[in-house]
Structures are given as C-alpha cells and as structure tokens.
Structure 1
C-alpha cells in the first residue's frame, strides 16, 4: 500500500510542484507530458491542474523561478557606479551574472525553450537587453578613450560569456571552474577592441 500523501498548504504544494518540474523540464524538455510532471511531483494530474490550470501557466512559473528570480536589480546600480573603473564594473557584473545562471536548469531549459520556439527566451533576452545591456552600453559610451559602442558589441561580449555555461552544461565540455579569469580576459578584449 503506497504511503498516504500529506496535505500541504497551497503555497507549499505549488512550490513542491515547481521543485519537481524544474529539473524534469531541464532533463526532458518543454514537451514533457503533464502526467509525467504530476508523477514526478507526487500529485495527481487533476491536482497539478488545480495549481497550474494549463501547461503554459506552469511553464510561466518555471520561467519566473529559473530566469526572472535570478536577476538582481542591485547589479544595475553597481554597473552605474562611475567611482569604480569600467573594467572592474564589467567584471563584477559578469561574475555575478554567470554565478546566477551557470546551473544545469538555467542552461538546459533555455536551450529547450529556444529549440521549441518558445517566446520565453525572447522575453528574457529583451529584459536582459533593456535592463542591463542598454545601461551598460551607456556606461561604455561615457568612458573616455573608447569609440562609440553599438548594442551588437555588448551582445557579443554577453554571448561569449554565456557560451562558457553552454559548453559546461549542454556540451559537457571542460571549462574553468572559476569563471573570473575568462571573464576578465573577455572584458579586457572587449575594451581593447573599443580602443582600436
């Protein structure tokens, strides 16, 4: 006889379902059936639908947890602190950002969503561009001795650093455990390119 399922307060049950859904979606992709999601969470499918009336609602909650909840508004304040040299600000930002996103769940769900054509990726990238890269562009443009940067310059830097995580968590290739050195080299190359 299976053990009796214990009753949880609604917020705890919702959180438990998400706790089970995030690693399963990271492992199997966005097309994982809700029946399998419910089984992994230890609930019935009707109970899953009580908390998440549609799979899209569950995916939105996963997106919020895995992506939006990792972005820290304090990063922007630190990026704009011109008392700190630009190179240090860029390095600090990317050290914090990569620490937040270099997880199997973040990388794998991002890849699955991109392959599925989900709008979640576009929304996330639009937010990162608007909330971090555009302000960063303004900080770089204000730096004396650098040519006027364009947004593509920032996306190139950003993409090169995110690719460290893709190599580690998607391709399972060796990467430096400590990302600080590759970040410092990438930022130095970025700034040197703008001085040319």
Structure 2
C-alpha cells in the first residue's frame, strides 16, 4: 500500500480572494484608486492598481470598462460628491454678516480639501492636462465664486467693486495652505483657522466691507 506523503508545513499556497458584494467591491476599487492615484499620479497603470488591491486586472475592468471610467469615479468621490449643496444658500444669506458667512464656508471647505488625496490628485490632474481640474473649477465658479462676487459687491460700503480675479485670489490664497502641506511638504499650522481668518479680513478690508 502506498504511503501518502504529507505536504510540508511551509509549502506555499494560494490565498483565496475574498468574495464581496458587487457594490462593496466597487467601492473598494474606488477607495483603492483614490489612494493609488494620489500616490503615483494619474499616469499610474491599472495593472499596478489591481496588484495593490489584491485582485486581477480583468476583475477591475468588470467594474470599470476603461481607466477613464475609473478616473471619473475617483473624480466624483473626491471632488463632486463632497461639495455641500447648502454652501450657496449659506453664502447668500444676507441676514448674516458677510465675514461670518465667508469664515463658515472656508472652515467647511478647508476640512474638505486640506487632505493628501484631494491635493495630490488635483495637482497630478493639472500636470497631466486632464479635464478634471477644468470641470471642477468651472463648477466652483458657478456654485461659489460667482454668487460670492455679488455678495461682496452688495456689502461694499464705499462702492469699491471687486472682479472675479479678486475672488480667485482670495480662494487660491486659502487653498495654498493645503498645497504647502501636501505638495511642498512644508510646515503648516495644525489649525488653519487663524490664517484663513486673516486672509478673509484682508480681502474684505480691501473692498471696504464691514467686518461685523
């Protein structure tokens, strides 16, 4: 009678891939893609992403037919889905001083964008010439900056009228705090609130908008 030989205890074995519900697997892929593209840029290869996720590239393409479709899902999760529909209402509420409205908005917005993934993907997208940045900035122009321009003009006590470039300078100055931290890796304040407050106050004073 032949003797069955036992496999060595240290023999390699192939781990089984965990089966997940389709919606959960899709979210896992998007979450992984956000971290992956933030680390390596939008030029990163889907086969490397699949390897990071512990899945096959063919499984990844079962959920996203193309890399562009996957990047669209990343764009939606990191940028569009995080924008609050309440912000335009907040900024247009003239029963509240404009300074308070601006500080409330930029307090919320800075928590959204002062993140590694947001900053890195935004910078990589711009360098790659992708459409994500243009679409996002157009959305911000329509949703936030254009209505805000009207509010600043209405609040100016001496009729000093800002233009859209002035609003972009305000917005860009605040965003730059996050760029310093996540792109340039420079020391930044743990609490950006005072820096945002000073930036907003300088902007309002330049156009004779009361601070209270």
Write the distance in 2 (CA, Å) between the matches of 1:74 and 1:109. Answer: 25
| Deviation (angstroms), 1:78 | 1.1
Structure 1 residue corresponding to 2:131, chosen from 113, 119, 124: 119
Per the normalisation by structure 1, the TM-score is 0.97
2:11 maps to 1:26: no
Paired residue for 2:182?
A: 169
Paired residue for 1:131?
A: 143
Query: Structure 1: which 5+ residue stretches go unaligned?
Result: none
Residue pair 2:156, 2:207 contacting (<8 A) in 1 also = no
Residue pair 1:21, 1:40 contacting (<8 A) in 2 also = no
Paired residue for 2:163?
A: 150
| Deviation (angstroms), 1:195 | 2.2
Query: Structure 2: which 5+ residue stretches go unaligned?
Result: 1-12
Per the normalisation by structure 2, the TM-score is 0.90
2:75 maps to 1:63: yes
Structure 2 residue corresponding to 1:40, chosen from 47, 52, 61: 52
- Give deviations 1:19-45, integer Å, cap 9, x for gaps: 111111000000111100111122100
| Deviation (angstroms), 1:173 | 0.6
Once the two structures are superposed, the pairs formed by residues 50-89 of structure 1 within 5 Å of their partners are 50-89=62-101
Q: Which structure: larger Rg?
A: 2
Write the distance in 2 (CA, Å) between the matches of 1:41 and 1:21. Answer: 9
Residue pair 1:30, 1:112 contacting (<8 A) in 2 also = yes
Report the structure, 1 or 2, having the larger helix content: 1
- Give deviations 1:61-80, integer Å, cap 9, x for gaps: 00000111111111111111
Q: How many residues align?
A: 196
Paired residue for 1:108?
A: 120
* Structure 1 ranges of 4+ moved more than 4 A: none
Paired residue for 2:192?
A: 179
Residue pair 1:70, 1:101 contacting (<8 A) in 2 also = no
Write the distance in 2 (CA, Å) between the matches of 1:41 and 1:135. Answer: 42
CA-based RMSD: 1.1
- Give deviations 1:93-114, integer Å, cap 9, x for gaps: 1111011111000000000000
- Give deviations 1:109-164, integer Å, cap 9, x for gaps: 00000000001000000000110111111111111415112111100000000000
Residue pair 1:79, 1:136 contacting (<8 A) in 2 also = yes
Paired residue for 2:28?
A: 16
Partner of 1:95: helix, strand, or coil? helix
| Deviation (angstroms), 1:55 | 0.3
Partner of 1:195: helix, strand, or coil? coil
